[in-house]
Amino acid sequence: MEKSDLLKRFCSRLVAIERRGVLTMDCYRLEIRRFLDFLEAENKNLDEADASLLSVYIAMRRTTDKIDSRSTAKAVSALRSFFRFAMDEGLTDDNPAVVLESPKRRVSLPEVMDKKTIEVLLDTVDTSNPVGCRDRCLFEMIYSAGLRVSEAAGLNIRDIDLEGGVAKVKGKGNKERLALFGPEAALRLRQYLEESRPKLAGKVSRNQPFMKNQALFIGRNGKRLSRKGIWKNYAKNAALAGTSSRLHTLRHSFATGLLEGGADLRTVQELLGHADLATTQIYTHVDVGVLRENHRRYLPRLNAPD
């Protein structure tokens, strides 16, 4: 089977049988393409790949490509999935990837920004033009609703309820949830939809009938704004605001702000779209300062000098 056909069939299985999301499928496809190139370089056929050879491949990825433990775990997962597919297709007799050890991921605390820094960042966006108005609205939505960049990019006009402050979001694994956004985000959305988006759409909207499922955030060409485009625009504005934070930091800051305000973990889990509560619990370790202040306020006797 040709490499391209093999990858197409593998990706079809990921979506149809393993129910993987598009982003996971893209990640696995790239990883397996690298692995197949590695086999060619080693003059090995797929059915000759054993656990020892896979270990060599993973070691090469870590030393040559400098991938971290998280990326290594993804590579191992991709190989396990691929060899399950290869067995079902009759291309191999077993799955050598099952013996590979997936490295333990280092639990790192998410980076967050305080409200003042976020305000400075948002105010840095030049809203005197349609692109700036779109970006201000976009970043406001990501922060206000705690969206992933892929979720924001995937929004359609029909997904937004301006009056109710609700957005229907498609998250990881194509799971849908309702995300809430505040009045400032609603105001920016209304301005964008009424003034800026029609200008960005240009001839596209004039030559085609209005459709409620149109992409919400678009570029000058009238097409849906890509994740890379969003990241690039954010990085530019973050640099102007004097911060090196990543776009995902807005989502982290959203979650941390909710917990600091007294929201329970289950509520935050639902709003973030986390499948596992353990994923949400990392935010409880972010702000030690808040814990110290509550400890001092509610247990003053323990803080009194001898």
- Tell me the C-alpha distance between 122 and 188, whole Å: 12
Whether residue 285 lies in the annotated active site? no
Q: Is 63 helix (H, G, I), strand (E, B) or coil?
A: helix
Whether residue 248 lies in the annotated active site? yes
Buried b (16+ CB within 10 A) or exposed e, 214-227: bbbbbbeebebbee
Active-site choice (148, 188, 197, 252): 148
Active-site choice (57, 143, 234, 283): 283
Whether residue 3 lies in the annotated active site? no
> Tokens for 244?
């090196």
Whether residue 251 lies in the annotated active site? yes
Compute the C-alpha angle 161/167/173, nearest 5°.
Answer: 150
Active-site choice (136, 170, 251, 252): 251
What are the C-alpha distances in Å from 115 to residues 52, 122, 186, 242? 51, 11, 19, 15
Whether residue 223 lies in the annotated active site? no
DSSP class of residue 302 equals G
Active-site choice (57, 172, 177, 301): 172
- Tell me the C-alpha distance between 126 and 22, whole Å: 33
Whether residue 295 lies in the annotated active site? no
Residues acting as catalytic residues = 148, 172, 248, 251, 274, 283
